[in-house]
Structure 1
Amino acid sequence: MKLLLSLFALTLSLMALQTGQPLPALNLQGDDGGKVDGTPWNSDELKEKVHVIFYVDPDEKDLNNPFSDALKAEDFDRSRFASVAIINMEATWLPNFAIAKSLKAKQEKFPDTIYVKDMHKKGVSAWKVADDNSDIIITDKSGNVLYLYEGEVPQGSFDEIISLIKEHM
């Protein structure tokens, strides 16, 4: 019986994110990363608002720009909606200074987005998202996963995803 319980627990720990389930904890600070301004970031911050999280390999940074632009065009109430871009720094051969320059440009284009560096793929481990990709995670006000997509979000899905966000705001 103990072996079965251990195997069940291991299986759960290896599973990808599930809609309706809480987003597992992720803490990025110090050598592990943090906000672009150098302060720590913790997934506990993903409460009280609907959050769209972009977990991105810098080599795939433009893959979901059309989706980002669609979100920006909605001009959501920032007291009920937020966005976070977590950069998977270890997923690229690009030097950190080049990524920093790109992040500065993104910050200017999306000033309300929180930019976070993940220096050691802790998000890949904690959340079981695709590595070397552009992943989209949407959470509700309680931090539960509403939506997950790995790769380029199909343009035909934008309206459905935006409706989901509005429903939960």
Structure 2
Amino acid sequence: MKNMRKSLLFLLAALTILTVFAVGTAFALGVGSTVSNVQLKDSNDKATAIPDLGNKVITIFYNDPDVADINDPAGDALKAQKFPKDKYRGLGIGNLKDTWKPNSIIRMIARKKEAKFNSTILMDDNYVLKKAWNLGNADEQSFCIIIDKNKKVIYFYKGKMNAAEIQKAIDAIKAAIK
């Protein structure tokens, strides 16, 4: 009887842990997820929503400014594709909450990158996007998120993209803008 009680308690504990884990990860952003728009700030600190979300295929690089350049090769590769501007938009979002750098310096750097990549860089100074899209730990991280016109995630990658991942991103965009 004692062994049966121990086994039952162990099983109950295991199921509880699995349930908590499943609920915690069930809503994590991934391919197939639908996203909603959020209010962020532009590089001049003015409130704005994510432009063209739901109207064009969008690539978002959501970066901690401490690793802001980690996926510049991916950004360069996407820009080199010269996707049609009426169907595609690329933008960056700086995760200001997870950096020690002053926001004013980050905004200045963002304006320079906007000119370099001919794209938009928004700022998330209070985990707005991270929470809304359930990105999880974003400290020292870079996310590449590609969203189609229906606000569905068609590509998602966390970390430094290698050549194979960059090609997957390019292929996902090509398929979505047909």
Relative to the length of structure 2, the TM-score reads 0.79
Equivalent residue, structure 1, for 2:127:
121
Percent same amino acid among aligned pairs? 31
Whether 1:54 aligns to 2:61 is yes
Structure 1 residue runs of 4+, over 4 Å off?
none
Could you tell me which of 49, 67, 71 is aligned with 1:64?
71
What is the rounded CA distance, in whole Å, between the counterparts of 1:13 and 1:26 in structure 2? 21
Equivalent residue, structure 1, for 2:176:
168
Equivalent residue, structure 2, for 1:19:
31
Instruction: Indicate the RMSD between aligned Cα atoms, in angstroms.
Output: 2.2
Could you tell me which of 77, 91, 103 is aligned with 1:96?
103
Q: What amino acid is aligned across from residue 128 of structure 2 in structure 1?
A: K
What is the rounded CA distance, in whole Å, between the counterparts of 1:84 and 1:104 in structure 2? 12
Q: Between Structure 1 and Structure 2, how many residues are aligned?
A: 156
Q: Would the aligned equivalents of 2:43 and 2:111 in 1 still touch at CA under 8 Å? A: no
Matches within 5 A, 1:138-153: 138-153=146-161
What is the rounded CA distance, in whole Å, between the counterparts of 2:25 and 2:169 in structure 1? 27
Structure 1: unaligned runs, 5 residues or longer: 1-6, 29-33
Equivalent residue, structure 2, for 1:137:
145
Q: Would the aligned equivalents of 1:14 and 1:128 in 2 still touch at CA under 8 Å? A: no
Render the CA deviation track for 1:30-63: whole Å, top value 9, x for unaligned: xxxx112343222474112110011110001011
Deviates most, 37-46 or 73-82:
37-46
Larger radius of gyration: 2
